[in-house]
């Protein structure tokens, strides 16, 4: 069993909000993650939701700002919030921009020289981390769901679409829905994956939805109408809705009047997302 | 009308979480405060709650971590969250410690040479800020309440006890209840107010409760049992309860098992505090 080091522990809504660090084999560095243990977890095994954060975030943003603990406590769900990229790996240029390198792992396994040793967030999130969580906390391993925000919404969507049946449900706040067609995605995929756009497509939610052939999905997406990144065509939720319509994949896209890209938006609707996952995790 | 500059505005739970800056006449510097405007504030005047934060905080801590917006929206209440000390006034030694100077104004009007020009948080909170808020937002000026955390719990208590009838209700999380008898209070009062302990007593909740002679109070205090500062005798809620018992001032002290001094504690019980104030503000 891989060793966990407790970084912090705070009682929250009758449960425990903890942060741990551990040595990641996939990322070859020390990583942190947040884990909320609801009161129900002290009496038996419970389902788990993974939360993937967006650009520039660490595990702290969701833990301190989303207000999810109340609803996780009420529904009896563990929530795991990992960091968004390898840390302290000292790759040249890693800290040069907010949308590539540190804090911007984009939930892919890099293939390009400088990045391929450490930047393996896809394998970390879908394999190493769940194994670690299931070994160390009272989870029901086959009852897990995933959600995320922005870059993390992209991550939640692709982890689900690439692994039919692995997650009971998926939801996202302002996700990057079609990274091969937006500036953020093109920069990240070119840097981590190289020039071959056929490889990019294996991490693109729209492309993956087009080819999806697994258990029925029930995707929930909230998107603020006053989100600058929506206007700048970084998110492209309309493209995902179009593919899902063609493929008859149920998706609910809620366009929320006047809401922006911030954690104030997430906090306003996290209750609905946790209820959505609870319905599927307890079905 | 004093000019306000909008620093940020985010839709939150159907309302607006904003931050403004302004030039403070009392503090002789530029100050920021957070203000949550519930949906009800767009249709008419509503009551207001002031939140006073603790040591090291700015207006941001409550705004981003307490999760109060949901309940303020439900009850139709404005919440104002000021900063905790003057900023950028460049007094020698101002940044030397976490518990004196910057971020540690202690809600007193300083009398000592170096501090007396700027460190006038008591007058700022009880006079300048409410005037500014009432001029600029749709408040009902005679329906205001106050709450706070730690040093800000001390602030909420003394503002209420020194101004009978000014606040409809008061509540606190882990307040410093008897500063003249704890290390934090003694250091702050000695620094801001000088050596005369008779002056200290004019800002001590226990002393003020002993002399209180105003409208009936209904004080709500939440205190974590696993709070290190409780163990270190910085908070002394038992002294306040003792005085209130003698004086027949109703006080509810809830000792919360396993909770600490953090915003995780505040978020867990902020719903109860806002309900407490709503009852009094709408009576």
Helix (H, G, I), strand (E, B) or coil at A155: helix
Q: Which of B57, B65, B67 to mutate to test the interface with A (most CBs of A within 10 A)?
A: B67
What residues of A act catalytically? 150, 227, 261
Going residue by residue through chain B, which has 283 residues, state the pLDDT in tens, using 9 for 90 and above: 569 999 999 999 999 999 999 999 999 999 999 999 999 999 999 999 999 999 999 999 999 999 999 999 999 999 999 999 999 999 999 999 999 999 999 999 999 999 999 999 999 999 999 999 999 999 999 999 999 999 999 999 999 999 999 999 999 999 999 999 999 999 999 999 999 999 999 999 999 999 999 999 999 999 999 999 999 999 999 999 999 999 999 999 999 999 999 999 999 999 999 999 999 999 8
> Is A2 or B228 the better-scoring residue by pLDDT?
B228
Q: Nearest-CA residue of chain A relative to B268? A: A13
**A224 contacts in chain B (CB < 8 Å):** 11
B74 touches chain A (CB under 8 A): no
Q: Which of B8, B9, B12 to mutate to test the interface with A (most CBs of A within 10 A)?
A: B12
- The reply to whether residue B11 touches residue A265, judged by beta carbons under 8 angstroms, is yes
- Nearest 5 degrees, angle CA B15-CA B21-CA B27? 130
Q: With beta carbons less than 8 A apart as the criterion, state whether A14 and A39 touch.
A: yes
**B258 contacts in chain A (CB < 8 Å):** 11
Q: What local confidence, expressed as pLDDT, does residue B115 receive?
A: 98
**Residue A183 to residue B229: CA distance in whole angstroms:** 49
For A81-144, the DSSP string reads EE-SS--S---TTTTSBTTBBTTB-TT-B--STTTTTT-BHHHIIIIIHHHHHHHHS-EEEEEE
Residue A162, token pair as written in the block: 């690439």
* Residue B261 among the catalytic residues: yes
Q: With beta carbons less than 8 A apart as the criterion, state whether A91 and A118 touch.
A: yes
Q: What local confidence, expressed as pLDDT, does residue B120 receive?
A: 98
Q: What is the pTM of this model?
A: 0.96
Of B67, B258, B259, the CB nearest to A267: B67
Q: What local confidence, expressed as pLDDT, does residue A2 receive?
A: 66
- The reply to whether residue A224 touches residue B11, judged by beta carbons under 8 angstroms, is yes
Q: With beta carbons less than 8 A apart as the criterion, state whether A38 and A72 touch.
A: yes
Of A11, A260, A265, the CB nearest to B260: A11
Q: What local confidence, expressed as pLDDT, does residue A129 receive?
A: 98
B263 touches chain A (CB under 8 A): yes
Q: With beta carbons less than 8 A apart as the criterion, state whether B162 and B208 touch.
A: yes
- Is the pLDDT confidence value at A1 over 70? no
Summary mean pLDDT of chain A: 97
Of B11, B67, B226, the CB nearest to A259: B11
Q: What local confidence, expressed as pLDDT, does residue A162 receive?
A: 98
Q: In this predicted model, what pLDDT tens digit does every residue of A63-121 receive, in sequence order? A: 999 999 999 999 999 999 999 999 999 999 999 999 999 999 999 999 999 999 999 99
Q: What local confidence, expressed as pLDDT, does residue B80 receive?
A: 98
Q: In this predicted model, what pLDDT tens digit does every residue of A21-52 receive, in sequence order? A: 999 999 999 999 999 999 999 999 999 999 99
ipTM of the complex model: 0.95
B60 touches chain A (CB under 8 A): no
- The reply to whether residue A263 touches residue B64, judged by beta carbons under 8 angstroms, is yes
Q: In this predicted model, what pLDDT tens digit does every residue of A46-62 receive, in sequence order? A: 999 999 999 999 999 99
Query: Which residues are CB-neighbours of A203 under 8 A, at least 6 positions away?
Result: A106, A107, A108, A122, A158, A179, A189, A193
Please give the DSSP secondary-structure letter assigned to residue A32: E
């Amino acid at each position: 069993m891989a060793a966990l080091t407790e970084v912090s522990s705070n009682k929250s809504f009758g449960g425990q909000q903890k942060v741990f660090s551990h040595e990641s084999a996939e990322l070859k560095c020390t990583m942190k993650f947040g884990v909320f243990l609801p009161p129900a977890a002290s009496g038996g095994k419970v389902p788990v939701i993974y939360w993937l954060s967006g650009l520039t975030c660490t595990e702290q943003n969701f833990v301190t700002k989303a207000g999810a603990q109340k609803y996780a406590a009420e529904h009896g769900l563990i929530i795991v919030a990992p960091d968004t990229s390898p840390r302290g790996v000292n790759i040249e240029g890693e800290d040069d921009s907010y949308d590539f390198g540190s804090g911007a792992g984009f939930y892919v396994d890099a293939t390009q020289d400088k990045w391929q040793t450490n930047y393996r967030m896809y394998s970390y999130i879908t394999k190493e981390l769940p194994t670690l969580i299931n070994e160390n906390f009272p989870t029901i391993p086959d009852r897990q769901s995933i959600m995320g925000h922005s870059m993390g919404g992209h991550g939640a969507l692709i982890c689900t679409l690439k692994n039919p049946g692995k997650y009971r449900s998926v939801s996202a706040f302002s996700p990057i829905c079609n990274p091969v067609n937006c500036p953020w995605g093109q920069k990240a995929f070119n840097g981590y994956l190289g020039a071959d756009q056929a490889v990019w497509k294996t991490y693109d939610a729209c492309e993956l939805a087009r080819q999806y052939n697994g258990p029925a999905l029930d995707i929930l997406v909230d998107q603020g109408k006053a989100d600058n990144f929506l206007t700048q065509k970084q998110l492209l939720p309309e493209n995902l809705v179009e593919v899902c319509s063609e493929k008859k994949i149920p998706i609910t896209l809620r366009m929320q009047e006047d809401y922006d890209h911030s954690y104030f938006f997430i906090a306003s609707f996290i209750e609905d997302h946790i209820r959505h996952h609870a319905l599927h995790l307890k079905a």
